[in-house]
Amino acid sequence: MLFDTHVNLHGEQFAEDLLDVMARARAAGVTRFVAICDRLDRFPTVKAIAKANDDMWCSVGVHPHYAKDFWTLEAATLVEEARDPKVCAIGETGLDQHYGFSELALQERSFVEHIHAARETGLPLVVHTRESDDLTGDILEREYARGPFSILMHCYTGGERLAQRAMDLEARFSVSGILSFKAATDVRSVMATVPLERIILETDCPYLAPIPHRGRRNEPAFLVDVCRAFAATRGLTFEEAAELTTRNALQLFRRAA
């Protein structure tokens, strides 16, 4: 039994066949899902998908790409939305300097508001970081010193230093299909330093389809292949990897337990 902790099901990629997608996932052994919110104006749709599925929960948040569109966001708004028992996480949030869709100052402000909401609600913070290792680490450490909160480094592709800084804050890490990519030697090397009890799985569908599906639309059923890749990197059987990562995910996403 597998837990896909990061699915993006509200976009046009799944508009025509979502029911079939979910049926394939369940047939493959994926039994829990977290639908991720990337914009507040899409949250009603994300939540509706979660509510339509007994085995699905959701997050509430604003992706750093869209920080400019929600520059007045306050933690209180996220806290209020998180009162719904279907909401099991805050985010995804963080910093992304690769595309620069939003000014860094606006991304930082949004990130901190999400942290405040995670601290207040006790829900895990889903962190996206790209080409922002040092600043991400600085913000997490500064805010954690003001009061602890639960951290998930989502689809982690950052460096070893940020990984260690996050581990020092008791962070968890999710691995995606990237782990199976031939060129992802750095990702495999860094993730090998993360304790097994800190690792969970995700597809990040419809993106990042694992080998042997690379180039196709990713979907939750392909979490089986993410699990196989993870098991191979850590010398585990598929069954051991599935049991371990599902247990870890349930400990993190307590509302989904």
CA 233 to chain centre: 20
The secondary structure element, H or E, covering residue 100 is none
Q: Which residues of the chain have pLDDT under 70?
A: none
CA distance 201 to 246: 8
Two tokens at 47? 């939540």
Looking only at the bridges linking them, the beta strands covering 87-96 and 125-130 are: parallel
CA distance 126 to 119: 12
CA distance 183 to 199: 21
- Which pLDDT belongs to residue 100? 87
Residue 65: φ, ψ to 5°: -60, -30
- Which pLDDT belongs to residue 173? 98
Select from 85, 23, 20, 18 the least CA-distant residue to 58. 85
Q: Kindly report whether the peptide bond that precedes residue 239 is cis, defined as omega within 30 degrees of 0.
A: no
Name the DSSP letter for residue 83: T
Contacts of 256 (CB under 8 A, 6+ apart): 3, 32, 34, 57, 88, 249, 250
Length of the chain, in residues: 257
Q: What CATH number is given for 2-256 in this structure?
A: 3.20.20.140
Two tokens at 87? 């909401």
pLDDT, tens digit (0-9, with 9 covering 90-100), for 163-196: 999 999 999 999 999 999 999 999 999 999 999 9
CA distance 117 to 165: 21
pLDDT, tens digit (0-9, with 9 covering 90-100), for 203-212: 999 999 999 9
Q: Is the pTM of this model over 0.85?
A: yes
Query: Rounded to whole angstroms, what are the CA distances from 17 to 9, 195, 204?
Result: 10, 37, 17
**Chain position carrying tokens 């480094």:** 153
